[in-house]
Chain A
Amino acid sequence: MPSASPAEGVAFRPGVPLARQRRDLAAVAAEARRCAGEVDARGEFPATAMETIRRSGLLGLLVPEEHGGLGGDCQDLVLAGRAIGSGCLSAGLIFTMHCQQVAVLAGYGSPRLRSEVLPEIAEGSVYVASVTSEFGKGGELTAALAPLRGSGPTVLLERDAPVVTGGEYADGYLVTMRRDEEAQPNDVVLVYAHRDQLDVTVRGAWETMGVRGTRSGGMRLAGELPDWQVIDAAGGFSALAGTTMIPVGHVAWASAWLGAAEGALREVVAAMKDPSRRKRLRRMDELVAERVARVRISIDLVDSFLRGYARDYEEVLGRAGRESPVLRSAAFNIRTNNLKVAASELAFEAVDELVKLTGLGGGYRQGGDLPLERSFRDLRSAALMYANDRLLTASGKLALFDGAVEPFVAALDAEEAPA
């Protein structure tokens, strides 16, 4: 008889801080954890975890309450992302990137798009994947080559993408497109497309070292869409990307990665405490103790950076809005890049250290009682997702234009100070 789901009946409540619904988050995480091994071994989409997330109402985490969602913000995304990421990083990334798309839809979608799509998301019937990668544009987020075609009430979308995280099973897509055939590659609009509005072709397998359950293979999308599904943000796509898509995206990834590292440490600690496994894993000499402490430092650093960033970002949004020049400052850009770089490196380092700690007979082993080698392979992708090299180069150059070397929120106070 299959055992009951630990997340049976879990339903998150709007109006109650997510921090006070941690037990339910832990139940969803436990459900994700139950299937993570099989998801990885078979390279399968984490269907059970995603079904639990749908039923629990978490797909609507960032959907405003007026559209039936939980009305959460980036700080809630941190809580949810690290919980689910701790159980299954593939599910964590699919979920958090979905939330990133929701933040964009809720912040920039036309009234009709918001009122039609957001309630569907909140009720759990739509998870949205991000389609930003494209052959031949060199990995640049704020550029697109494939043009939208057609004019009048409908537009024609035809788009190839080499990597779409969670794309194979998504119910909707948020796609970057060149505005039209005459536009420059940096003149980008976003288009929301429901899966049943598109011909979806999966191209190329997703046979990868880790995050195998994300099923992020290449895709071809084609379809005709009403023009109100086009998101043409004031200030252009680069402003939308810089003030919402990238910040929320980096919070999304960092949360899931941090969760994976936390989950790994939790499993190692539990094994070291378990009387039946202890002899193999614990000779609590000073070297072992120091390694555990180092892992904890890596995790604590990411936790602190991530929660601080999410809090400061929400403070800017709350006090000055999305149009605030603070969100266009070099200091904000650098901090946003650094969150991604630091979280990806430190989360991986933490698990690498745990593999070292538990050795060939423990963490390095496949199919053993510790899932460290899976976490290790999963987290190896972190530095590659929007490659750290690119972000470091950008931040290093930007630093020359941020001579004050102050946290970005400091500028918020300066902005509000009386002249």
Chain B
Amino acid sequence: MDRNLAADDKTGNLCLVKTLLFIIQSDPYATSKVSDAIDMAYAAAVFEIEVAVLFSGAALSCLLQGHQSRLLDKKSIEKKILALPIYGVDELRYVVDANSPFASMLAGIADPLPESEQAAYMAGFQEIQVF
């Protein structure tokens, strides 16, 4: 079913819903980009926008377990990602990159998306923000 359509609570009729994909491709701690992206995702989800997050490239390390962000005096990106489902963001994906040094170590909080399916996946969203 088209993710941009949902049944109206009262009438049961299909109606258009706003869908938003955040593509995160930045290193988790080099800048505040990942943190800013997640904050935006939280806010959108709270306002009942259908939100998904896709990690790729340098952002794959966001999904590793056991971040020691205290060493950098920064908030843990790992914890911020784990809080996404609390805000209603359940769809977390990562682009499978067999060449990534983390390929075999990614945590189970996101589902893999084959690189060959990435374009079709992105096409299913009305808005995309890239961080």
Asked if A and B are interacting partners, one says no
Interface residues of B (CB under 8 A from A): none
Interface residues of A (CB under 8 A from B): none
